[in-house]
Amino acid sequence: MSHTFTHALVTGGAGFIGSNLVKCLLNKGMSVTVIDNLSMGAKSSVDTRARFIEGDIRNEEDVRTALEGVDCVFHLAACVTIRASFDKFYDDADTNIMGTMMLLKCVDSANVRQFTFASSMAIYADSPTTAPVAESYTIDPQSPYGVGKLASEIIGKQILGQKGIPLSVVRYFNTYGPGQTLTPYVGVITIFINKLLKGEQPVIFGDGEQQRDFTHVDDIVSGTMATLAGPPGTYNLGTGKASSVNDIASMLIAHINPDITPLYAAEQVGELKISIADILKAQNNLNYSPSHDIASDIKSVIEHIKTR
């Protein structure tokens, strides 16, 4: 890690991935400022060593306060739900696009020397096979959420390019791990575990043969942090390995309650059928090396949810 960076801003730093990133940056000896409106995250998730601002990335005063003394930015704050982005498309775009615009407006190249933006696999077109997709794969977002992430990537490149601030875009694939907030929309593993622990049937949308690249939050965080030392660019962060939703359900049922069978419901609009990351570019440029495997990690995630 480059030691030229001393103070990071993490937007959305009270969220699942953000709070883990904050901890790792602090453990590297950096100062960290967090801005979060706590719409999804919890203040209790934020490491007490960080400077915490309860504020909104759409509010110029909040953003300027958050940027004080900062030399690198990790922009994770977002509405992160594909399905709900149809019903709440205005709020989704307001936060994900206009929030990003406010950050780009306020960031100053005299201070900030690195900007890392958390994007998503939701910007890609559906894949016909489980062959991993590279960063050059067809861009065709299937949801308002994906459109917002793509818009932020493009405008981010233009504005930061003009300002002379290096940009790294990290496209996250399905992230799982201990500490994920339970919502009806995000984190199929967390949703399934909570259902099964209550003795309820997990609900699978469609035939369950959707193929996903489930990536542990620790690997996502290490890849995100690596952008401080690696060359600017656009990087997929995943594992390169496919698991179907049926596979995940079977694995969790076997661990928690073998007597339960899943329920099947109608396919959901806007969700990709197959999306697996080609991570060669991140491996080559960021020394990214995912070390977690879902089959061996699932027990610790179950235990963590049980204790909560």
pLDDT of the residue at 295: 87
pLDDT tier at 172, thresholds 50, 70, 90: very high
145 assigned to active site: yes
| Predicted confidence (pLDDT) at residue 185 exceeds the cutoff of 90 | no
| Predicted confidence (pLDDT) at residue 1 exceeds the cutoff of 60 | no
pLDDT of the residue at 162: 98
pLDDT of the residue at 187: 81
Q: Phi and psi dihedrals of 228, rounded to 5?
A: -70, -30
pLDDT of the residue at 118: 98
Percent with pLDDT over 90 in the chain: 85
- pLDDT, tens digit, for every residue of 222-266? 999 999 999 999 999 999 999 999 999 999 999 999 999 999 999
- pLDDT, tens digit, for every residue of 197-224? 999 999 999 999 999 999 999 999 999 9
Distance CA 4, CA 285 (A): 19
Query: Between residues 51 and 268, which one has the greater pLDDT?
Result: 51
* Stated pTM of the model: 0.95
pLDDT tier at 82, thresholds 50, 70, 90: confident
* Mean pLDDT across 90-111: 97
Question: Which residue in the list 137, 145, 176, 288 is annotated as catalytic?
Answer: 145
To the nearest whole number, what is the mean pLDDT of the chain? 94
What fold, for 7-175+216-239+278-291? Rossmann fold (3.40.50)
